[in-house]
Chain A
């Protein structure tokens, strides 16, 4: 080994430590970035949970709203239900539900018991809409503007804190800049 090359190991090591140290500043490795921000809601044709009427993406536009993916088998969805109710009643936010991979009867009973803050729900029994949305675990909540463009995605339980800190900002951003 020529002399300066004995320094190679320590230089490589320093770079490695820097990278590992930087690893702590990165987001949770289990949170995936959303691939469809700025894109329109994917096309779908799915029945309404309560009426059974076929709905499409065209039924969603008109005003900004939260698109919430939920299911009765998802324990965290129970946890966020109260928060969604509060967000709807206190701030008048329109929330649309995607009932994901669920038993329709169980879902209806669930809404009867816990109340229904949603404008309506579509039934995504096969998970096709969820896959098109890039959902990877319920609950997930999307902020969508009046034109039906996805602005933001929140993975995990929505709380009032989450609403005030992030979701509300995106909803407001839409009405301010919204053409």
Chain B
């Protein structure tokens, strides 16, 4: 079943591959810019990994229209994200929300950065031990290798 589903999914994605062009009428450029930004950061729930802007799937068309309607109703970006989140869950947001389950996701880059800085400082703290050339043993080995060539 899973196999079939994936195959069907692929087929759908191929059929939906003609990238949509969304000539929307918006009262002003700010709203238009917000519209394009929103449909770029929301994920098409049916597709393989595409945003609403990039999918021709029926549901993506509906959701683009939904975004447009909500914008015209005067909703804020946050309200629109919440509206869609309530219906499609975290999956639809390409920008993960900050929740107890995503602390790790947002936290690891900081953790890694701190760790990296710490390693860097620690190595730098150690005394400069003089320009270390190859030790004699290594030089011999290198020479041997070179000679062999």
B86:A138 contact, CB within 8 angstroms: no
Asked if B59 lies at the interface with its beta carbon under 8 angstroms from chain A, I say: yes
A101:B62 contact, CB within 8 angstroms: yes
Using known A-B contacts A127-B58, A135-B59, determine if residue A30 contacts B86 with beta carbons closer than 8 Å: no
A136:B46 contact, CB within 8 angstroms: yes
Residues of A within 8 A of B2 (CB): 28
Stretch at the interface among A31-39, A45-53, A143-151: A31-39
Contact with B88, one of A35, A128, A137 (Cβ below 8 angstroms): A35
How many of chain B's residues have a CB under 8 angstroms from any CB in A?
22
Asked if A134 lies at the interface with its beta carbon under 8 angstroms from chain B, I say: yes
**In the complex, which residue of chain A has the Cβ closest to the Cβ of B12?**
A137
Chain B nearest CB, measured from A170 CB (Å) = 18
Residues of A within 8 A of B88 (CB): 32, 35, 134, 136
Contact with A130, one of B8, B48, B59 (Cβ below 8 angstroms): B59
Asked if B116 lies at the interface with its beta carbon under 8 angstroms from chain A, I say: no
Main secondary structure of the interface of B (DSSP, over half): helix
Residues of A within 8 A of B12 (CB): 137
A28:B5 contact, CB within 8 angstroms: yes
Residues of B within 8 A of A76 (CB): 8
A131:B46 contact, CB within 8 angstroms: no
Asked if B63 lies at the interface with its beta carbon under 8 angstroms from chain A, I say: yes
How far, in angstroms, from A117 to B66 measured CA to CA in the complex?
31
How far, in angstroms, from A101 to B63 measured CA to CA in the complex?
12
Scan residues 20-43 of chain A and give those whose CB is less than 8 A from a CB of chain B. 28, 30-33, 35-36
Scan residues 28-68 of chain B and give those whose CB is less than 8 A from a CB of chain A. 45-46, 48, 57-59, 61-63, 65-66
A32:B58 contact, CB within 8 angstroms: no
Scan residues 1-27 of chain B and give those whose CB is less than 8 A from a CB of chain A. 2, 5-6, 8-9, 12
**In the complex, which residue of chain A has the Cβ closest to the Cβ of B57?**
A137
Residues of A within 8 A of B46 (CB): 136-137
How far, in angstroms, from A101 to B46 measured CA to CA in the complex?
15
How far, in angstroms, from A130 to B89 measured CA to CA in the complex?
15
Chain B nearest CB, measured from A132 CB (Å) = 6
B65:A126 contact, CB within 8 angstroms: yes
Residues of A within 8 A of B6 (CB): 28, 30
Q: Other than the known A127-B61, A137-B12, what 15 A-B pairs have Cβ atoms closer than 8 Å? A: A30-B9, A71-B58, A100-B58, A101-B62, A126-B65, A128-B62, A128-B66, A131-B87, A132-B87, A133-B87, A136-B88, A137-B46, A137-B58, A137-B59, A138-B58
Interface residues of B (CB under 8 A from A): 2, 5-6, 8-9, 12, 45-46, 48, 57-59, 61-63, 65-66, 86-89, 91
Chosen A-B contacts, 13 in total, with CB atoms closer than 8 Å, are A28-B2, A30-B5, A31-B5, A32-B91, A35-B87, A127-B59, A127-B61, A127-B62, A134-B87, A136-B46, A136-B59, A137-B58, A138-B58
